[in-house]
Amino acid sequence: MKITNIKLYKVQPRWLFLKVETDEGICGWGEPVIEGRAESVKACVEEMKTYLIGSDPRRIEDIWQVLYRGGFYRGGPILSSAISGIEQALWDIKGKYYNMPVYEFLGGICRDHVDVYCWIGGDRPSDVGMEAKRQQDLGFKSIKMNATEEVAYIDSFAKVDAVCERVAAIREKCGKYFGIAVDFHGRVHKSMAKMLVQELNQFHLMFIEEPVLCENYEALREIAKYTASPIATGERLFTRWDFKKIFEQGVVDIIQPDLSHAGGILECRKISAMAEAYDVAVAPHCPLGPIALASCLQMDACTPNAFIQEQSLGIHYNQGSDLLDYLADPKVFEYRNGVVQIPSKPGLGIEINETYVEKMAETGHDWKNPVWRNSDGTVAEW
């Protein structure tokens, strides 16, 4: 079997889909994208086409090594995301060829389902208590929310109080044991993060995410002294070499590799195995589309230290087009009582509605995240 062609579709709300075709009529789908840099990743995938055409798609490890190492320069968001989507598509082909779901190639299933959480609020959350209660009534057992708006290096304690008030509203509406994750989104600098995590201890959070930017990972050791909540990070780390320094530091409790950014399914399975050796849990990052989510669920199925899965249904980014719109059978991601079943059909376990993909690709998108500024005009982290 040989790869004969690749096709790329930039579709709303902010995704990039890849279709890999073969001479035996078996096709695979992947989702290579960096949010806000879809065109750059698209160009990178097209540049890698030279290495793909004529290759046997079943030789996934070999192709990955060629794509990662063959260009001399390696790593980073664009290259790693391009490889990730290609790798997902190759697994989809291999699973369909051998008539097995991807998890069967990676050790076999070790769970029947996986917990999922949903997002509430947006970049500037309001009325989060009522929204969390609505999600609880729909069966979700946990939510994640953004912590703050803009935060300067040293800022008013009023911003800390505002976060606590929103989390308190969720506790009041949803009860003592409802799961609450607070995403700092790398917006908070070390000095303010220490105060904020300490004040949030009273709410017994499920985890705090990216309390500081991942490039400032050395600050996590100090922040860990002030919090009783599990610390999560990893959505902006790429391949096992980025994660290695996190494991060696020994203060992170949850890693969040993104299977569309960090190198694909097998690479993230390797990262998860490294995490298991350091007694670290896995909660894959996935505010993306259906192919990325299907890839995550295939890895979750065979990863014992994966404990919960992010998913984007209803997330504020998905205005105008959502997760299930691109699937021939939306029921494959049917959430009940806060869990989702593992797709068991061959490959990634989903069927893409290609007609709809082609239609939406005619419009495409040029999604960019907003640029925030502090009150004095300096650029703030988004």
Q: What is the pLDDT of residue 156?
A: 95
Residue 378, in any domain of the structure: no
Quote the pLDDT of residue 320.
76
Indicate whether 146 and 262 sit together in one domain.
yes
Instruction: Give the mean model confidence (pLDDT) for residues 328-342.
Output: 93
What CATH number has the domain bearing residue 78? 3.30.390.10
| Whether residues 96 and 13 fall in one domain | yes
Please indicate, yes or no, whether residues 225 and 187 belong to a single structural domain of this protein.
yes
Give the model confidence (pLDDT) of 124-143 as tens digits. Answer: 556 788 999 999 999 999 99
Domain boundary among 103, 133, 160: 103
25-39, 159-173, 235-249, 310-324: lowest mean pLDDT where? Answer: 310-324
The predicted pLDDT at position 127 comes to: 78
Tell me which of 113, 185, 204, 261 is the catalytic residue.
Answer: 185
* Known catalytic membership, residue 316: no
Asked if residue 373 is part of any domain, the answer here is: no
Looking at residues 310-336, what average pLDDT do you find? 90
- In-domain check, residue 360: no
How many domains, the chain? Answer: 2
Q: Tell me, yes or no, whether 63 and 111 share the same domain.
A: no
So what's the pLDDT on residue 89? 98
- 18 and 88 assigned to the same domain: yes
Domain endpoint, select from 103, 130, 164 = 103
State pLDDT tens for residues 195-223: 999 999 999 999 999 999 999 999 999 99
Domain shared by 298 and 253, yes or no = yes
Same domain, 277 and 159: yes
Residue 231 belongs to domain spanning: 107-345
**Any catalytic annotation for residue 204?**
no
Would 153 be classed as within a structural domain? yes
Whole-number mean pLDDT of the chain? 95
Identify the active-site residue in 189, 261, 285, 365: 285
Do 214 and 268 belong together in one domain? yes
State the Cα–Cα distance between residues 26 and 40, nearest whole angstrom. 27
The average pLDDT across 54-76 equals 96
Please check whether residue 351 lies inside any domain of the structure.
no
